[in-house]
Structure 1
Amino acid sequence: MIKERTKTHFSAIAMAAMLGVSALAAPANAETLRMAWAQDATGLDPHKQAAFSSIRLLELIYEPLVRLNANLQIIPGIATSWAFSPDGKELTFKLDPKAKFQNGAAVTSADVKASFERILDEKTGAVNRANYSSVASIEAPDAGTVIFKLSQPDVPILTAMTDTNSSILPASEIAAGTIGTTAIGSGPFKLDKWDPNSKEVLSANKDWAGGPTGVDGIEISVLPDESAILAAMRAGQVDFALLNDPLIATLVPREATLQLNRAPALAYHVLQLNPSRKPMTELAVRQAISCAVDRQAVLDTAALGEGKVTGPLTMPFFASDPNGLFCYKRDVEKAKKLMADAGVADGFTATVIAATGEPPTAAAEAQVLQAQLAEIGIKLDIKMMELNVYVDTWLKGDFDMAVALNGGRPDPYTMYNRYWTKTGNLQKVSNFADDEIDSLMQQGRAETDAEKRKAIFNAFETRLAEQSPWVWLYTSYGYTAQQKSVQGFVPMPTGSMFSLAKVTVQR
């Protein structure tokens, strides 16, 4: 499969015919954005969905209290203003009086309270729950005001609230138990139809507090792969597309009518180890794996060098030179010695899981890692899974190793507390706890001085790389492609496509 990543592709017309791209439905009118992606959403509950493909759909339907702009600054969402109390233990929001759900009901403080109580309920299985462990209570003194009472100062909580996984849902739908079966948000578009793994039809939310959308609707086609997407764009049948495969993305600039949007991503490619499974319970074994991996070779082979080797921290302010981290320069002899020290000089067999299609580089990454780890006696069996099966398996922590693409955040605490604190709600995924790492996370959560926070999280990163529960590989780019007739899209480091709310199409 590694060799297949360098194959040339058929012409646009031939590929379109072969994959049935010509069957794409024509837009209802000139104001419909025809969009395509190769990996569909796996569900409609914004509090529970972890897959990137789900978030990209749900962020067009639902809204959080606050958002991030392209510079990673916090801007209004449903809330128009917010303020911490002098002691940092209260966070008060004022809601936009124009905010309405797509069923016509006003968004009120009762909806905010119900949404966060749902996130905090362990039974929900919300992926963002660990970010809100400091919330002692939530008050709604009037319809337009929400007060979060905190048990301690919590600097990154506001950043956590920008996430689609922290979207505000109607209290009535929460009470009815219909979240995930219907999609009623307050965002720019309404979901009119979802045929899983086939298409989505969105229409503009005329009551959106953000003002008129640039198009009347979006029709999203789920195509077999990204080669088919490029063929459809060449044929003029798709206006805008989400791309994940660097091989396909790098072909876009060759097309006179197409434009490639390319933004450095906070998300990171990683080999996740399961430190609860022998012999990876042994520090020396995990460190041996880290020392045996040539991260640059993984990047060059799987992603055509489109990215850079990274440590755990990928956000610009906190990131450090990864060459200063434990064993980031490949050292096979050191790896063999560590294996011998751990009593497994002859190696062992393990299974690594990877998802089909998200990211498209996963299979190639797994194969490069398989070859590299074989040099120290580790025999990796690769198990490819459909995305929904992979996500379920991943959330249960039911793997020896996993090739993953995990989301990045602008703040280290909101990015990692769910994995690396003892109360993190994804502890089952990391299967690892460490007193020093937990302490550093808590220090960074409460510290308000920016430079002191940076020093704390640099120590956190150093410790995490030394303990090697995971092997961080590289960051890449977020890609989208569009016809040059599409105007107004703003690429984001988070991969968000929320700016589709304001794009226009000039046909």
Structure 2
Amino acid sequence: MSPRNLPLQAAVLLTFATSLLPDLRADDRFPPYDNTAEVEAEWKSKPEFYQFKTAADLPSGLVWEKGLDQPEMGDPRARKGGTFNFDQPNFPPTLRFVGPDGGNTFRGQHYDNIEIDLLEKHLDTFAWIPGVANEWALSADRRTAFYRLDPEARYSDGVKVSVEDFFMAFYISRSKHAQDPYRADYMEREFSAITKYDDRTLSITMTKVNPDPFYVANVNPFPRHFFREFGDDFPARYQWRKMPTTGAYTILPEDVKFGRSITLTRVKDWWARDRKYYRHRFNADRIVYRLVATMDKSFEMFRQGKIDLFSSSAQLLPAAYWNDRADIPEILNGNIERYSFYNQFPRIPRCVYINQSRPLLDQLDVRIGLHHAFDMEKVISVVLRDDAKRMQTATAGFGRFTSPNLKARAYDPAQAREAFARAGFTQPDKDGVLRNAEGRRLSFTLTVGNLPIYTQAGLIWKEGALKAGVDLQIEVMDITQLFKKAKEKKHDLVVAGFGAEPPYPEFWQFYHSDNAYEKQPDGSRKVKNNTNNITMTADPELDKLIDQHRAAPNEDELQRLSWLIEERAQVLATEIPMWEVPLYRYLHWRWLCWPRDGNCKFTREATDSYVWWIDEDIKAETLQAMREGRGFGEVSRVFDQHQDKP
């Protein structure tokens, strides 16, 4: 896993509630502070990790790559300028990308999809391409990655990117002040040294050989001048400070309007604006994310032209909008266009997660019975109108690393009752709910988010579960409270989806016992909160496989272990896979333009690639035609060149 994706991997694809401050530019709680002395003291105290050498110490025979042999991304027709308006369902809790709440989903909009790391992945070929480093090489033992920084690479505040900024990345990530234990563990475990050779050249040494060394060693810079006040009050001090970016967009203090909107502004004279892989991307001058609480309200604003694109963070635009409202005048006249794009990207592991620390749910046969008691097929048919397909495993979409041997347990009340009988639940109560000899009923709370798709599904699941002898109490919560409850491990069953990034599946945070329980001095164990092991899986056999997976030296071994882990997780019935979609689709005003081939292959959502642009001439033409009652003809595009072939 790349260090950049640490919090994203750990984040449920849900956002959190706002935490308000009156002014981003001044806060008397935090007087000026300079950590230069302590930072440099830390570097000097660990000379085996923070190394300073000269260019003469570079190994001979390094083969430097430049990665300029890949096709351009984007479209030469793209125009710079204009404002892109989009909706955001919740206001983010912070602009930090490290520390508490740093993994909120708005992080992608202002950091993950914007920031330029040492290297970047080409979104069509998945080859490595230049980032803030314009040359890179690998040691003979494949444990050390070498980089030469682009001499023009600068932050949005004009400060040049320096080698020391990568030293700062390790200093902060490993510090307890960051309050980011997952990141700290990763940075401690995966790396043994960072070395400066000159003002442009550095290397990062890993503790072991990795299948793709650059994927692990692709560290993002932490501008030293910005983090000069990093200390024990870091989460609060930096809560609303936007880090200067190496990417195309920044957030100005005056553009954070709490509870209303956040606006990104394109960096003037951005250093990468003419680089091969960036010159036709990041085209809009401004991107405005407006807080809109419901999809119905978003759709209303979209029809009014206040939002340029209407989509869903779940990739699949619900049929209630895609099908039922396909005959609105704006679509029939071609002012709004329909767009479907088949992508290749790990699927959101959208599942019912079973908390094994709760009463009865610690019994395997009860969990197996629940798998057969959830009528996923009917939800896909009725609610999703067969636009999705059943997800067979929580790690779908990882290519060779997804086991082809797995098949999700189908809805079958008879099989569910057989499993429940093995657990001792054989006697039906007056309402049909099974109970055991002690009178304990098969009754559980299913927590779902307050989205129509899940509330509708909940009714179907409740009805289907009763046929299997289970009482499902549907608890509808807003996204913030649902996330909090799951992280505190207070749920029985919860519907959730997590971030997934190519190229490899991540198992430790979801299944390892390290993230389920904390061992106490007396030998007992305590539930560990604020981790992504919300199934509370703690299986010695699975732990062993996961530990081996983390140390896998090549992709063949990674594949073998991935399959074994996925198959063991299914045996344990840890979560109930729901559905997946092989594409994303949305509606957009015709002035929002796209490349001729639609988008880039390796994108989760349409906007992630930033290959789109606003055409102000087409916008003026469209608005004038609407005033005159003219249309352009209905447009519905399907880009299926990357669709999986049967």
Q: What is the TM-score with the length of structure 2 in the denominator?
A: 0.65
Kept in 2, the 8 Å contact 1:60–1:189? The answer is no
Aligned with 1:370: secondary structure?
helix
Kept in 1, the 8 Å contact 2:153–2:161? The answer is yes
Kept in 1, the 8 Å contact 2:400–2:559? The answer is yes
Change (3 A) 1:67 1:249: farther
- Among 262, 267, 278, the alignment partner of 2:348 is 267
2:537 maps to 1:432: yes
The residue identity in structure 2 corresponding to 1:153 is V
Per the alignment, residue 369 of structure 1 pairs with 461
> 1:200-246: CA deviations, max 9, x gaps?
22211124333164222122222242233333333333223442442
Aligned with 2:559: secondary structure?
helix
Kept in 2, the 8 Å contact 1:441–1:460? The answer is yes
Per the alignment, residue 491 of structure 2 pairs with 399
2:588 maps to 1:482: yes
Kept in 1, the 8 Å contact 2:208–2:553? The answer is no
- Among 233, 239, 250, the alignment partner of 2:322 is 250
The residue identity in structure 1 corresponding to 2:588 is Q
Please list every run of 5 or more consecutive structure 1 residues that lacks an aligned counterpart in the other structure.
1-28
> 1:270-315: CA deviations, max 9, x gaps?
1111112221112222222122223322333443332222212222
Aligned with 1:100: secondary structure?
coil
Change (3 A) 1:139 1:498: farther
Partner Cα distance (1:392, 1:173) in 2: 31
Aligned with 1:105: secondary structure?
coil
Q: CA deviation at 1:468?
A: 1.3
Change (3 A) 1:440 1:428: closer
Kept in 2, the 8 Å contact 1:50–1:127? The answer is no
Change (3 A) 1:31 1:328: same
What is the alpha-carbon root mean square deviation over aligned residues?
3.3
Q: CA deviation at 1:99?
A: 2.4
Kept in 1, the 8 Å contact 2:151–2:200? The answer is yes
The residue identity in structure 2 corresponding to 1:291 is H
- Among 179, 187, 199, the alignment partner of 1:124 is 179
Kept in 2, the 8 Å contact 1:67–1:76? The answer is yes
- Among 22, 27, 31, the alignment partner of 2:82 is 31
Aligned with 1:429: secondary structure?
coil
Q: CA deviation at 1:61?
A: 4.9
Q: CA deviation at 1:368?
A: 3.2
Partner Cα distance (1:348, 1:146) in 2: 59
Change (3 A) 1:84 1:275: farther
Per the alignment, residue 104 of structure 1 pairs with 158
> 1:115-145: CA deviations, max 9, x gaps?
3443444652266566543223333444433
2:294 maps to 1:225: yes
> 1:407-454: CA deviations, max 9, x gaps?
2222344x3332123445835534213233333334444445544433
Per the alignment, residue 315 of structure 1 pairs with 397
2:474 maps to 1:382: yes
Per the alignment, residue 576 of structure 2 pairs with 471
Kept in 2, the 8 Å contact 1:112–1:168? The answer is yes
Partner Cα distance (2:121, 2:457) in 1: 31
Higher mean C-alpha displacement, 86-95 vs 305-314: 86-95
Q: CA deviation at 1:190?
A: 1.4
Change (3 A) 1:129 1:432: farther
Per the alignment, residue 283 of structure 1 pairs with 364
Aligned with 1:455: secondary structure?
helix
- Among 192, 207, 230, the alignment partner of 1:136 is 192
Change (3 A) 1:128 1:253: farther
What pairs up with 1:126-275 in 2 under 5 angstroms?
A: 132=187, 133-155=189-211, 158-159=214-215, 168-176=221-229, 177=234, 178-184=237-243, 185-192=245-252, 193-211=255-273, 213-244=282-313, 245-247=317-319, 250-251=322-323, 255=331, 256-259=334-337, 260-264=339-343, 266-275=347-356
Partner Cα distance (1:64, 1:302) in 2: 41
Higher mean C-alpha displacement, 220-229 vs 75-84: 75-84
Kept in 1, the 8 Å contact 2:373–2:470? The answer is no
The residue identity in structure 2 corresponding to 1:95 is L
Change (3 A) 1:173 1:276: farther
Q: CA deviation at 1:320?
A: 5.3
The residue identity in structure 1 corresponding to 2:248 is P
Partner Cα distance (1:83, 1:354) in 2: 48
The residue identity in structure 2 corresponding to 1:206 is K
Per the alignment, residue 419 of structure 1 pairs with 510
Aligned with 1:93: secondary structure?
strand
Q: CA deviation at 1:161?
A: 7.0
Change (3 A) 1:52 1:378: farther
Aligned with 2:610: secondary structure?
helix
Kept in 1, the 8 Å contact 2:211–2:555? The answer is no
Aligned with 2:565: secondary structure?
helix
How many equivalent residue pairs?
A: 472
Kept in 2, the 8 Å contact 1:351–1:400? The answer is yes
Per the alignment, residue 332 of structure 1 pairs with 413
Change (3 A) 1:50 1:340: farther
Q: CA deviation at 1:335?
A: 1.9
Higher mean C-alpha displacement, 459-468 vs 41-50: 41-50
Partner Cα distance (1:340, 1:250) in 2: 43
The residue identity in structure 2 corresponding to 1:313 is T
Change (3 A) 1:350 1:126: same
Radius of gyration: which is bigger? Answer: 2
Q: CA deviation at 1:404?
A: 0.5
Percent identity, aligned pairs only?
A: 16
Q: CA deviation at 1:37?
A: 3.7
Change (3 A) 1:131 1:105: same
Aligned with 1:112: secondary structure?
helix
Partner Cα distance (2:615, 2:122) in 1: 22
Kept in 2, the 8 Å contact 1:247–1:304? The answer is yes
Q: Would you tell me which structure has more helix in proportion to its own residues?
A: 1
Partner Cα distance (1:230, 1:262) in 2: 20
Change (3 A) 1:285 1:137: farther
Partner Cα distance (1:190, 1:370) in 2: 46
Per the alignment, residue 9 of structure 1 pairs with none
Partner Cα distance (2:116, 2:397) in 1: 23
Partner Cα distance (1:231, 1:41) in 2: 23
The residue identity in structure 2 corresponding to 1:420 is Y
Aligned with 1:243: secondary structure?
coil
Aligned with 1:183: secondary structure?
coil
The residue identity in structure 2 corresponding to 1:169 is F
Aligned with 2:604: secondary structure?
coil
Per the alignment, residue 113 of structure 1 pairs with 167
